[in-house]
Amino acid sequence: MKKIFVMFFAAATAISCGKTETKTQDHSLEQHQQSKPKNEMVALMEEMMEEMHSGKPTGNNDADISKMMTEHHDGAVEMSELLLEKGKNDELKNFARKVIEAQNKEVQLMKKFEDRKEASPDSKEFVQELNRSMAAMMDKNIQIHNNIDKDYAQQMIPHHQSAVDMAKVYLKYGKEKELLQLCKDIVKTQNTEIAELKEWLAKN
């Protein structure tokens, strides 16, 4: 009986030590992860995507494209402001200023349509395609440089691509003339800017 008790005590001690060791390892891993520097540009992209996915569709195509595109534009403006604050490349800073000016103007236009309530008959299909247009930004293989200039260019390419894809969805389903013209402008302008960013990354 005494032997059994000793064996049981030894086993319990070993398990307890194992748990303590595991907790210590987990705590060390947590501390290591917290001590890793946070990539601010990537964090802004992730924050914007959370905002876009947190909203509930209204059922009106004009309101839904306006709300989603406004959140998307706000993300681009915040990324551009971060680049102006911490970036070093003058060419990219000029690019960022253009993005801020253009997208703030477009947001003001879209605010006119955010409160529309009338249900669109093809809302379900429209929203499904809008959600699919987020695919470019959700790519897990987007390269991270941990360099504010390069990360701005690298992250803004899929960001712009998603805006282009969203705009194309509205061009397929939309009816509002001002929004149709806006989406045509987004496709043209942001495709041009994607090419500029790719060229900049290739040179740098």
Confidence of residue 27 (pLDDT cuts 50, 70, 90): very low
Task: Identify whether residues 136 and 194 lie together within a single domain.
Answer: yes
Mean per-residue pLDDT, 88-117: 96
Determine the pLDDT at residue 36: 43
Same domain, yes or no: 14 and 115: no
Same domain for 28 and 64: no
Please give the pLDDT value at position 56.
Answer: 85
Same domain, 60 and 132: yes
Of 83-97, 105-119, 131-145, 190-204, minimum mean pLDDT range: 131-145
Are 14 and 109 in the same domain?
A: no
Is 194 a residue whose pLDDT tops 80?
yes
> Looking at the structure, do residues 100 and 191 belong to the same domain, yes or no?
yes
Is 69 in the same domain as 166?
A: yes
Domain range for 31: 1-36
Q: Give the type of residue at 189.
A: T
* First-to-last C-alpha distance (Å) of the chain: 75
The total number of structural domains in the chain stands at: 2
Q: Is the pLDDT of residue 30 over 50?
A: no
Helix axes 90-110, 61-86, angle to 10 degrees: 150
Based on the fold, state whether residues 2 and 60 are members of the same structural domain.
no
1 and 47 in a common domain:
no
Examine the domain organization and report whether 104 and 193 are in the same domain. yes
Of 112-116, 139-143, 152-156, 181-185, the one with minimum mean pLDDT is 139-143
Q: Is residue 15 located within the same domain as residue 52?
A: no
Rounded to whole angstroms, the Cα distance separating 112 from 122 reads 21
